[in-house]
Amino acid sequence: MALVRVRYAPSPTGSLHVGNARTALFNWLFARRHGGRFVVRFEDTDTERAGEEAARAIIVALRWLGLTWDEGPEVGGPYGPYFQSMRLDLYRRYAERLLLQERAYECYCTPEELEARRRRAQAGRRPFRYEGTCRHLTDAERAACRRQGRRPALRLMVPDTGTVEVHDRIKGTVSFDNAVLDDFVIMKSDGWPTYNFACVVDDHEMRISHVIRAEEHLSNTPKQLHVYRALEAEPPEFAHLPMVLAPDRSKLSKRHGATAVEEYRQMGILPQALLNYLLLLGWSYDGTTEIISLEEASRIFDLDRVNRTNAVFDEDKLLWMNHQYIKTARLHRLARLVVPRLAEAGVLPDMITLGEFRRLRRILALIQERMHTLNEAPALIGYFFGDDVEYDPAAVARRLAGPEVPDILERAADNLAAAGDWKPDVVEQVIRDTAASLGVKAAQVIHPVRVAVTGVMVGPGLFDVLHLVGRERTIRRLRRAAARLRAGELVATVAAGPTDGPGSP
RNA sequence: GGCCCAAUAGUCUAGAGGCCUAGGACGCCGCCCUCUCAAGGCGGUAGCACGGGUUCGAAUCCCGUUUGGGCCA
């Protein structure tokens, strides 16, 4: 195979959509797999909507995902610039050549005239197709139009018989009747190229060998093939990816919730997890293997295992995938990821000491397998920090409501204060001894102590929790909770609160 | 409306004529483990859109219908 050169060519009209991220990923992987080059360029000829800000957002998102490009914005390359709006001269040169070679012609029909014809066709239940009105204008007629102040668009001459065949790596051979095509516009009267023209000129100029893009472009491909033909250029290979859809099988849009890579970043999704999830949307390795790193994927990915059916974006599975990556993340890395979110939640200061960082790592070891997204971190580990805890009313009602609870808590506090080394197994022994001396089951001590110290009913094993919460903090919270219970504070809160549990003994 | 693509459980997928009484995963349900919640282990739920062909034999090939998606308008 000749040098593989692929491109991701987004239109900068918003943030990076997850469907587009998958397209970028497949291109990136294909380039890696075949030792090729991955090019990024912005198709910003739709001046109304395209924006610099959007381009920036897309660049940031691609960087965050780790989909680096060999040529493109910010990195440059031999075929730049990589914004179509900066390549207008090029399109004009190509267009002029086609005009000279009489493969394209000037069209002076105004939008109003075309619209009228379109309506007439619709009324007659006929598909609208530009009939080549201006194909055979004489020089004099053209001059007359220009004198009226009309500016021409440029149309490509398309044969009206025969077929064009798209040889697609994924769809197979797809053929289109030329009869359904018309002499489409390649340069608009305002001097800007149309999508199908600029795209082909760029792919040709940039020596793109494989065009891997979403299926929505399949219907554009016959037109593009006509442009290649007119340019006497060799078309690249095409591969049209199935679409990524919303749960209701419509196009994934804002009303379905998060659609942008950036939103998933904010939700606490890891880039590796998002990439892995996206990889499985339309591609599979053996039908069984699911956890595949980018590195691994870049060795085994290929187009022949891309399927042809549209896929629904399933957030539940993404969350599961994220959990897989969080579970197995190295603690050091996880800690670094989580610090900003803890700071934001006010659990930790922005800057923490090395000692605190180390303690955080040990805390994370306890909860990493129950964390599905990074932003669950504050709720999961907030109680390891600070003086006081917030009590979940339901937890208080369920575990602290009994009349014997204050005694149990104080007894536990006393015994823990007198304990030897503050280690998990020592803590465990003390708690079990406390239960024994009180003549109750261990669970009757464990549950109230957990709620008194952490404020919630759920969490890792209690002895590990107490160990890392720390002796002083543990004892302080136990005594304080006992006192507040005696004063009727905590229970009163519950009685007045909306969540009144059964209040078990 | 015209053209194009597709069709395996709620979702992602394996399957390229007999290996399929259809495999894996998410979700959901149950059990085990257990100080709780997770995690983990075990088990379960649920599918070849429909109708015709071809063939000794079809999830797999062909045609049609239906449904979904895309492009153009």
Distance A175 CA to B63 C1' (A): 19
A443 closest-nt by C1' vs CA: B35
Q: How far apart are CA A498 and CA A359, in angstroms?
A: 36
Distance A184 CA to B73 C1' (A): 13
CATH architecture of A329-384: Orthogonal Bundle (1.10)
Backbone angles phi, psi at A196, to 5 degrees: -65, -25
Nearest to A8 by CA among A18, A22, A23, A19: A23
Pick the CATH number of A87-241 from 2.60.40.10, 3.40.190.10, 3.40.50.620, 3.40.470.10: 3.40.50.620
Nearest to A237 by CA among A175, A163, A166: A166
CATH architecture of A393-495: Orthogonal Bundle (1.10)
Contact status, residue A400 vs residue A451, Cβ threshold 8 Å:
yes
A286 closest-nt by C1' vs CA: B14
Contact status, residue A102 vs residue A156, Cβ threshold 8 Å:
no
Contact status, residue A334 vs residue A365, Cβ threshold 8 Å:
no
Q: What does the angle CA A455 – CA A461 – CA A467 come to, to the nearest 5 degrees? A: 80
DSSP H or E run through A32: helix A18-33
State the sign of the Cα–Cα–Cα–Cα dihedral A155, A156, A158, A164.
Answer: negative
Identity of residue A419: A
Question: Residue A453 CA to chain centroid, in angstroms?
Answer: 38
Q: Which residues, 6+ apart, have CB-to-CB distance to A250 below 8 Å? A: none
Contact status, residue A210 vs residue A30, Cβ threshold 8 Å:
yes
Distance A49 CA to B72 C1' (A): 21
Q: Report the nearest residue to nucleotide B7, CA vs C1'.
A: A309
Q: Which residues partner with A177 through β-bridges?
A: A163
DSSP H or E run through A195: helix A195-205
A127 closest-nt by C1' vs CA: B2
The pLDDT value given to residue A50: 63
Going by their DSSP bridges, the two strands A153-156 and A104-107 should be labelled as: antiparallel
Backbone angles phi, psi at A123, to 5 degrees: -60, -40
Would you please indicate which residues of A are annotated as catalytic (active-site) residues?
Answer: 254
Where in chain A do CATH 1.10.10.350 domains reside?
A: 393-495
Nearest to A481 by CA among A416, A414, A413: A413
The pLDDT value given to residue A505: 32
ipTM of the complex, rounded to two decimals: 0.95
A324 closest-nt by C1' vs CA: B39
Contact status, residue A394 vs residue A457, Cβ threshold 8 Å:
yes
A220 closest-nt by C1' vs CA: B71
Coil, helix or strand for A363?
helix
Does the global pTM surpass 0.90? yes
The pLDDT value given to residue A45: 84
Distance A34 CA to B33 C1' (A): 48
Q: Report the nearest residue to nucleotide B70, CA vs C1'.
A: A216
Nucleotides of B under 7 A from a protein CB: 1-8, 10-15, 23-27, 35-39, 68-73
Distance A249 CA to B65 C1' (A): 21
What DSSP assignment string belongs to A264-333? HHHTT--HHHHHHHHHTSSB-SSSS-----HHHHHHH--GGGB-SS-EE--HHHHHHHHHHHHHHS-HHH
Question: Residue A60 CA to chain centroid, in angstroms?
Answer: 12
The pLDDT value given to residue A48: 61
Where in chain A do CATH 3.40.50.620 domains reside?
A: 5-84+244-312, 87-241
Q: How far is CA A179 from CA A63, A137, A163, A222, A444, in A?
A: 44, 22, 8, 12, 82
Distance A477 CA to B28 C1' (A): 39
Distance A310 CA to B66 C1' (A): 18
Distance A401 CA to B24 C1' (A): 47
Q: How far apart are CA A401 and CA A422, in angstroms?
A: 28
A196 closest-nt by C1' vs CA: B71
Residue A169 CB: number of other CB atoms within 10 A? 17
Pick the CATH number of A5-84+244-312 from 3.40.640.10, 3.40.50.620, 3.40.50.300, 3.20.20.30: 3.40.50.620
The pLDDT value given to residue A334: 96
Contact status, residue A193 vs residue A46, Cβ threshold 8 Å:
no
Instruction: Going residue by residue through chain A, which has 505 residues, state the pLDDT in tens, using 9 for 90 and above.
Output: 579 999 999 999 889 999 999 999 999 999 999 999 999 999 998 766 667 889 999 999 999 999 999 999 999 999 989 999 999 999 999 999 999 999 999 998 887 777 778 777 777 766 677 877 788 888 888 888 888 888 899 999 999 889 999 999 999 999 999 988 889 999 998 889 999 999 999 999 999 999 999 999 999 999 999 999 999 999 999 999 999 999 988 888 777 778 999 999 999 999 999 999 999 999 999 999 999 999 999 999 999 999 999 999 999 999 999 999 999 999 999 999 999 999 999 899 888 899 999 999 999 999 999 999 999 999 999 999 988 889 998 898 889 988 889 999 999 999 999 988 999 999 999 999 999 999 999 999 999 999 999 999 999 999 999 999 999 999 999 999 999 998 888 764 444 444 433 333 3
Where in chain A do CATH 1.10.8 domains reside?
A: 329-384
